[in-house]
Amino acid sequence: MAQVVFSTWGGTVVDNRTVTGEPVAASYRLPVAFDGQQPLRAMMGWDGVIVFDKDVDVPAMAAEYMQRVQTLFCCGKCTPGKKGTKVLADLLQKVLKGEAKPGDLDQVADLNVLLQNCKCTLCPSSTKPVLDAVTHYRADFEALCDGSRQPKNEKYLHKITAPCMDKCPAHIDIPKYIEEIKNYQYSDALATIRENMPMPAVCGRVCPHPCEAACRRKNVDDSVNIMVLKRTASDYEWMHKMQHPANTAVMKKKTIGIVGAGPAGLAAAYYLALQGYRSTIYETLPEGFGGGMVAVGIPAYRMPRHILQRDIDIIQTMGVEIVYNCRVGKDISLAELKAKHEAVFLAPGAHRSKPMGVEGEDKGYKGFLTGGIDFLREAYMGRPTGMGKKVCVVGGGNTAIDCVRVALREGAEESVLLYRRSRKEMPADVWEVDGADEEGVKFEFQVLPTKIIVDANEQVTGVECVRMAMGEPDASGRRRPEPVPGSEFVVECDTVIPAIGQDADLSFIPPDMGIDISKWNTVITKYIPLKDAAGKGLNDSMGNPLSRTLITDCDGVFAGGDAEIGPLTVVACIGNAHRAANVIARYLEEGKAYLTEQEIFEDLLTYLGVYDKNESVAWLDSADRAGQKEVHGKARASKGNYQEVELGFADSTAQAEADRCLRCYRMAMVAL
Amino acid sequence: MAHTECCDTNKTITLTIDGTDVQVPAGTTILDAASKLGIKIPTLCYLEKISTTGACRVCAVHVEGVARPMTACNTPVKEGIKVTTQSPELEQIRKKTMELMLVNHPLDCPVCDAAGECDLQDTCYGLSVSKQEYAADLERLQIRYDWSLLESDPNRCILCEKCVKVCREITGVGAIETQSCGDRAVVETISGKPLDCDFCGNCIAACPTGTLISKPFKFSGRPWSFEVKNGICGFCSSGCQIEYHVQNGKVARVTSDDSTYNNGNLCINGRFGYSAFNAPQRLTQPLVKGVDGIQKSATWDAALATAVSATKEIVAKYGAAAVAGIGSPRVTNEESFLFAKLIKEAVGSANLDSEARLGYAQAQELQAKMIGMTGATKPMDALEQAGCIIVLGSDLKAESAGFGYRAIKAATKHDAKLVIASARPTSLDKFANSSLRYKAGSEGFVAMGLAKAAINQNKAVAAEGLDAFKQAVSATSFDQIQAATGLDEAAFNDAVSFINGQVAVMYGFEFIRSADAAAAVTGALNLATLTAADVYPIDEKNNTQGMLDMGVAPAAGGKDLFAIVEGIEKGEIRCLYVMGADLLQLPNSRKIAAALQKLECLVVLDLFPTATAQLANVLLPAAAAPEKAGSFTSTDNRTQSFTAAASAPGEARPDLVILGDLYARLSGGAIPSLAALQQEIKPVVKKKLERPALAFTAPQAHAAGSMTLLVAPFLRHNGSYTSWSENNLLVAAEAVVRLGAADATRLGVKDGDNVTVTASGASVTLPVQLRDGIPAGLALAPTHFPASGISGLMTKSASLTVTIAKG
């Protein structure tokens, strides 16, 4: 096991420098080798210093750290930050040059206090590792001061981050765009968003916004309404008839074939276009129904179609072609696609409904629909859904909620949701569940459908269910819902829609192409072999290897989105596809599919965790979080009413909400 | 300023500051709450009129229970908090922060323009910052000497960002931004090229140090060496409250305080136009044309006697109707009143008018008839309460900047929707929810299209005469409207979709000076009536409204401007008094020039040797706005009085004095005093009709050629007044023809090339300026340069069919 030489990370000082016996054990969520090869020797960041290699020159590293903060990232927009980090950086440079006196080092602690009055978090957070270094490596600093030792020249890498932008799978520079909104620079804010998010109107509306769960303002009172601020920037553009900036890249000859015009396919095409590569997207659905799961899976009252289409149109104007009505595997084979383009990106999404595992579901009963996602798609496309008057939807995710709410809008007299756990445990977003509640959806929690009941004509007449209760904790300590004997009952209905989940339909991938498919029905891509001190591989929250190049085992074929990650979110697919676009461009340029050090660093920070929910953030909680306006009342879900329910912010509300942001930038730097 | 506009500001919050309880509305900042108690917390980056920044960190206070200092300027209050504004710790923080601010700050106070009015000096002094613990390597930043009118020394900058925010939030320009990182962070133009903006100088006013300074003012004196006198700006119709800084009787600079009605905001004309007052071309002594036709200097007595005897002679010979007067939108109300009295009473002629006859006068006659009052129906600050502002045919900032700033504030800070209909790109387009770019000359159809759409989209109220109006407009289809305007029904529907809350209809130059002005203005007023809107007519000049209120218009049976010119041509009018107006820059200038030659007596009162002045038999040097007392009335009916701040050059006299003398000599009465005139002027009472009725004037289709020239006010000038201002000329030196890319390509011209514009048999050759957003088939030329000859191409309306050729 790699030994920690010294650390102040996480608020605990671990000092094994002079330990003679057993060193103090400490481990951090970091790989032993930065990119699987170069040993990670030390790290400095907002939480302190971690030294793995005793030969690292900590004073030199601290000096470099402060120099980079001051010259590369300090915004200069507050006095202590601008001048304080300058004084510190110059002081530490003087130390390296042997021009400082040991007493000068006292100023580090003095400025550390003064910098707590900074406007934002970057500069105050940057004094933490420097002060730790000066405090614990004082003798090493002083040896430089008196010239008895020369600083070492070492390789450092830095990365700027913030808890929100780290947690955002697309890594949007959230503090930047929020500050731009605060400064009334809506177009600039949108440009910032688009650097990592080509569908801002979509992710300004339907994103589960993991960023907000990592917002440090939450440690004061409540998170900043990051998602609706994104919507504000995006809506400002079309509400002022502004055009998306034109693509100024010089277009190159090589092209990319993309399977699926969903968020991943569109995002990859967008970022490839910005790098001068034309893509052709092959989409199964007809024109007007692009957008993948956003289009077919998210109803129009959450994501108005003209606004979605505008995002798609913009992507097309960048130099992207979309071929509609073209199912890869049927209308064109994957091999043909590969022959036609220099690279192929597979982003078919996860559109196949999973079975419920209930008696009678495979009998083809009238009123038993294939799945939630199919129901939403048919409703969206204005085709007969097969729905009756009393609808039962089974499931607890956002798709299930979308189904019960769409059922009302399609004219259902009763719309019931059956879920086997409690309301609190629903994976669906709370506000979506509340929305369904307000519209008159009925809920049956902690029930398990066991059998589909039909009449003589094989028409569904009800679902037999059994009530569930929490059982005893199992071996893992988790309590699972278990059927309560004798609690069987029937929910009368004429339509049952299973909305248990989806997976990818990968039947278009011929087995002979060498593309591996996992047991979860996802496309397997290559990854960086990152290992922790215990020798265990580093995985992301979905259980996939942490840092993936997204190239499959078939040369020139890449994969992304739900079909690669496993069914997740729009924002995750976009982040993943943006990464894929960068790798594809490198592949086309250099013939190699690889990740840059910055990309790997990004993944490592996500793995390490930038947000600390236990951090005590000193701030006055005197500005409440603003919520967007919403249409209320049952009428909003009346038959045929797909008008948008959430109405966004007035600009002045957005500006005030943006002012709540604490701008929690911080810089990490590693020595390799 | 309330910190947040989304919280319930009706709620009252009680907090304690330095042991004293205070109650303030929710959303108030700690700074404002403290100020209510008379507790002063030092600030540097705080500026009430812009969004908070929190850059300097000097206003740090302690809030009990919060383990870090909070900045008072941008922290809203909270119920029950206990705030400490003074403590040894806070003093340390503030002092050390100031020390940091002063690290490498240049010690050039002796030659810094801001010395004596430097907030940095004052704050250091106030906090007794007398030592320096910190040091850093000195890296000097480049001083921008290459900007026009402004100079930027970033080494003096404390990066408070006031300039950046004033530029973006107040004037809507956003020309400058903080660039680069860390200690090298600097306020720079976004392009990195020399500053290219409105040159309003509001950034100079906002700068707390000597970073951004006025080049024309540089080294002209220490702030305390000037006499500072309040005045009302004499350029556009916004009526801004200003301060003249006077030395040796001359205006050395103009500023405005943030506590004024205009929040201290000025435009280039207000801030820099003063160099016109000091222009070497100013007339300094009376001139009388000799028999040789050459104007020679004369004593006041001789000049006045010449004018009066010539006038009396003509009256005796041909009757009083052979005399006419052209008044001025530049002079005071009292002077206009006296001018009218002079012509109508002392001379006894009904022939009195002004350049307002080009459109504004008729527009006001229509307003009087249709809505019962002239000028705006509300003062301009009511724009901030509007839910929707519809701007018709006006580039607000170019025509009347104060209105432009208010509209920007309403749109950006008060969530007003903005609809702009204009033939040319305007400086407010970027804030517009709907920009209707119509074909110049189709203004009447534009107004009708909006009215029809408002009715169709249920955005109209049940106005008086609605049924008849609907009937009348139904005769014109949207197809016909599209043929005239180039705008389809969807565009009009989209525009009216933004109508909500209190609506304001502002109409300006293109409507007032339209070839179809009657239909255009009637249409604008109909739209206002249909939407129960406040009405704001916009005019470029400072006292057009006041002049009309004072009765500078034809008396019963009298001739108007056009009839006066014709009367001169026909020999009916032989004596003309022109005050503060250059008739040779009006449309049809060649015809007017020929007519003026026929006059037996031309008496001109002016500041400058204009083309008209040079034809005068008697030329009387007048005083500019800062050199006299009186009042101006802005187009929103605010009448503001002022006293003289500076001295007129040489023997020049205020028009009031000149007119008084002429009046006495012509009438045989006494010289009327300012006080007597003010007594005599009846208070102007205006009231909007409670139920104004719709009226219908059918718009006229104009057969437009392939190229239309629109001669309109441009930014950076005001009338021809500022064409005498060296400062304005530095950033807009000459007349140009602005073209869009399509026409430039078609003509094969690039920026700076010459083009020849021909219309009605006359041509002018001018350099080309390429501009984004000018539609194909439209060229723009400025109204500001009389010598350009552009007015010689025009007949009456602001737009005309022309041919344009390269070279």
CB contact set of A289 (below 8 Å; sequence gap of 6+): A295, A296, A324, A380, A381
Closest residue by Cα to residue A491 from A470, A466, A469, A468: A466
Check CB contact of B640 with chain A, cutoff 8 Å.
no
Residue B721 has φ and ψ, to the nearest 5°, of -55, -50
User: What tokens appear for A402 in the block?
Assistant: 């979308």
Q: Is A109 on the interface with B (CB under 8 A)?
A: no
Residue B4: per-residue pLDDT? 43
Q: Which residue of A has its CA nearest to B82?
A: A620
Q: What are phi and psi of A113, to 5 degrees?
A: -70, -45
Residues 37-56 of B with CB under 8 A from A: 51-56
**Cα–Cα distance, B535 to B523 (Å, whole number):** 12
Residue after which a domain boundary falls, among B101, B136, B152: B101
Q: Answer yes or no: do B496 and B409 share one domain.
A: yes
The pLDDT value recorded for residue A476 is: 77
- Strand A343-346's sheet: what is its strand order? A320-323, A278-282, A255-259, A343-346, A557-559
Q: What is the DSSP letter of A368?
A: B
Nearest to B57 among A75, A80, A183 (CB): A80
**What is the domain-level CATH number for residue B765?**
2.40.40.20
Residues in chain A closer than 8 A to B6 (CB atoms):
626, 650, 652-653, 656-657
Contact present, B329 and B542 (Cβ < 8 Å) = yes
Q: Catalogue all structural domains in chain A, each as residue range(s) with its CATH number.
A: 6-163 (1.20.1440.230), 167-245+611-658 (1.10.1060), 255-351+504-594 (3.50.50.60), 356-501 (3.50.50.60)
The one-letter code for the residue type at B386 is A
Do B513 and B653 lie in one domain? The reply is no
For chain B, the average pLDDT equals: 96
- Taking one residue from A and the other from B, the number of pairs with CB-CB distance under 8 angstroms is 164
- B516, part of any domain: yes
Sheet holding B323-326, edge to edge: B295-297, B287-289, B618-621, B601-606, B575-579, B323-326, B352-353
Let me know if residue B418 belongs to a domain. yes
Chain A CB contacts of B157 below 8 Å: none
Report how far residue A3's alpha carbon sits from residue A21's, in angstroms, rounded to the nearest whole number: 13
Is residue B717 located within the same domain as residue B752? yes
Residues B659 and B748 in one domain: no
Whether B589 is in a domain gets the answer: yes
Distance CA B275, CA B21 (A): 52
Among A219, A620, A661, which would you mutate to test the B interface (most chain B Cβ atoms within 10 Å of its Cβ)? Answer: A620
- Please state whether the predicted TM-score (pTM) of the whole model is above 0.90: yes
**Residue ranges of chain A whose pLDDT lies below 70:** 1-2
Task: Note whether B432 contacts A240, CB cutoff 8 Å.
Answer: yes
Q: Which of A90, A217, A238, A622 to mutate to test the interface with B (most CBs of B within 10 A)?
A: A622
From chain A, the residues in CB contact with B97 under 8 A are 79-80, 114, 117
Beta bridge partners of A390: A414
B657 C-beta neighbours (distance < 10 Å), count? 20
Judgement on whether residues B743 and B665 belong to the same structural domain of the protein? no
Asked whether residue B151 falls in the same domain as residue B263, the answer is yes
The token pair at B162 is: 């006031």
B389 beta partners: B418, B504
Q: Is residue B456 part of a domain?
A: yes
Residue B513 has pLDDT above 90, yes or no: yes
Give B 135-164 residues with CB within 8 A of chain A.
135-137, 158-159, 161
Residue type, B305: A
B88/chain A closest Cα distance in angstroms: 14
Q: Which of helix, strand or coil describes residue A518?
A: coil
Q: What is the rounded average pLDDT of the residues B400-410?
A: 98
List, in order, residues 6 or more apart from B266 with CB less than 8 Å away: B200, B201, B202, B205, B233, B240, B242, B254, B255, B256, B401
User: In the structure, how many helices (H) and strands (E) does chain A have?
Assistant: 23, 23
A226 lies within 8 A of chain B by CB: no
3-state secondary structure B224-269: HHCEEEEEECCCCCCCCEEEEEEECCEEEEEECCCCCCCCCCCCHH
Closest CA to A564 of A542, A585, A583, A537: A542
Please report whether residue B95 resides in a domain: yes
Number of domains chain B is built from? 5
Chain A touched by B801 (CB under 8 Å): no
Q: Which residues from chain A sit within 8 angstroms of residue B96, using beta carbons? A: 114
Taking the C-alpha atoms of residue B719 and residue B459, their distance in angstroms, rounded to an integer, is: 37
B546: in domain: no
Tokens 């808890």 identify what position?
A163
- The per-residue pLDDT for A2 is 59
What pLDDT is stored for residue A472 in this prediction? 82
Contact B265, B380 (CB under 8 A): no
**A651 vs B415: CB contact, 8 Å cut-off?**
yes
Of A71, A75, A84, the CB nearest to B100: A84
Among residues B508, B17, B429, which one has the least CA distance to residue B238?
B508
This model of the complex carries an ipTM of: 0.95
For residue A356, the model assigns a pLDDT of 85
pLDDT of residue B6: 47
CB-based contact (8 Å) between A70 and chain B? yes
The domain that contains B96 carries what CATH number?
3.10.20.740
Tokens (6 digits) for A19: 């330990």
Q: What is the 3-state secondary structure (H, E, C) of B694-706?
A: CCCCCCCCCCCCC
Radius of gyration of chain B (CA): 28
Taking only residues 521 to 550 of chain B, the set having a beta carbon closer than 8 angstroms to any beta carbon of chain A reads none
Q: Is it the case that residue B127 has pLDDT exceeding 50?
A: yes
Assigned token pair, B27: 């959303």
Rg from Cα positions in chain A: 27
CATH number for the domain spanning B331: value is 3.40.50.740
Report yes or no: B158 and B43 within 8 Å, Cβ to Cβ: no
Burial state string for A13-45 with b = 16 or more CB within 10 A and e = fewer than 16: bbebeeeeeeeeebebebbbbbbeeeebbbbbb
DSSP state of A366: B
Report the helix count and the strand count for chain B, using DSSP H and E. Answer: 25, 33
Say if B686 falls within a structural domain: no
The answer to whether B96 touches A114, Cβ cutoff 8 Å, is: yes
Domain coverage including residue B793: 708-806
Rounded Cα distance, A279 and A258, in Å? 7
Same domain membership, residue B566 and residue B453: no
CB contact under 8 A, B97 and A656: no
Q: Is residue B3 scored above 90 in pLDDT? A: no
* Residue A650: closest C-alpha in chain B: B415
Q: What per-residue confidence (pLDDT) applies to A387?
A: 94
Residue from A82, A229, A660, A667 to probe the interface with B (highest B Cβ count within 10 Å)? A82
Q: How far apart are CA A335 and CA A337, in angstroms?
A: 5
Do B478 and B509 fall into the same domain? yes
- Contacts (Cβ under 8 Å, ≥6 apart) of B313: none
Put simply, the chain A residues between 623 and 662 with a CB less than 8 A from any chain B CB are: 623-624, 626, 650-653, 655-657, 659
CA atoms B208, B212, B218, B220: torsion sign: negative
Same-domain status, B487 and B574:
no
Query: Residues B325, B435: one domain?
Result: no
Give exposure, A568-596, as e/b (b: 16+ Cβ within 10 Å): bbbbbbbbbbbbbbbbbbbbbeeeebebe
Beta carbons of B135 and A87 less than 8 Å apart: yes
For A86, A542, B287, B614, B790, the CA distances from B597, given in Å and listed in that order, are 73, 91, 17, 11, 20
Q: Is residue B682 part of a domain?
A: no
A243 touches chain B (CB under 8 A): no
* Three-state secondary-structure class, residue A87: helix
User: Is B344 a residue whose pLDDT tops 60?
Assistant: yes
Compute the nearest-CA separation of A134 from chain B (Å).
Answer: 18
CB-based contact, B767 to chain A, within 8 Å: no
- pLDDT attached to residue B760: 85
Structure tokens at B386: 């509007």
Report the pLDDT value the prediction gives residue B5, as an integer from 0 to 100.
44
Interatomic CA distance for residues B616 and B602, integer angstroms? 5
Contact B63 A182 (CB under 8 A): no
Is B76's CB within 8 Å of A90's CB?
A: no
Residues B70, A620: C-beta atoms closer than 8 Å: yes
Residue B570, pLDDT > 70, answer: yes
pLDDT confidence band for B8 (50 / 70 / 90): low
Inter-chain touch B66–A619, beta carbons under 8 Å: yes
Q: What SS3 class is residue A26?
A: coil
Distance from CA of A532 to the nearest CA of B (A): 36
Residue B701: band (very low, low, confident or very high) from pLDDT cuts 50, 70, 90: confident
Taking chain A, what is the end-to-end CA distance rounded to the nearest angstrom?
A: 18
Q: Are residues B394 and B524 in the same domain?
A: yes
User: A85 and B63 in contact by Cβ < 8 A?
Assistant: no
Candidates B30, B57, B179, B211: best to mutate against A (most CBs of A within 10 A) is B57
B7 touches chain A (CB under 8 A): yes
CATH (domain of B206)? 3.30.70.20
Residues B261 and B143 in one domain: yes
CB nearest to B181's CB, from A74, A87, A185: A74
Sign (positive or negative) of CA dihedral B153, B154, B155, B156: positive
**Interchain CB contact of A82 with B (< 8 Å):** yes
Q: Would you call B182 and A651 a contact, using CB atoms and an 8 Å cutoff?
A: no
- Max distance between CA atoms of chain A, in angstroms, equals 97
Chain A CB within 8 Å of residue B686 CB: no
Contact yes or no for A82 and B412 at CB 8 A:
no
Place of tokens 């008060």: B414
Q: Please provide the DSSP assignment of B637-700 as one string.
A: --EEEE---S--STT-B-HHHHHHHHHHHHHSSPPPPHHHHHHHSPP------SSPBP---PPP
Residue B444 contacts A where some CB pair is shorter than 8 Å: no
Pairing of strands B287-289, B618-621: antiparallel
E strand or H helix at A478: none
Residue A222 contacts B where some CB pair is shorter than 8 Å: no
Q: Point out the domain boundary residue: B69, B101, B133.
A: B101
Residue A84 touches chain B, beta carbons under 8 Å: yes
SS3 B335: helix
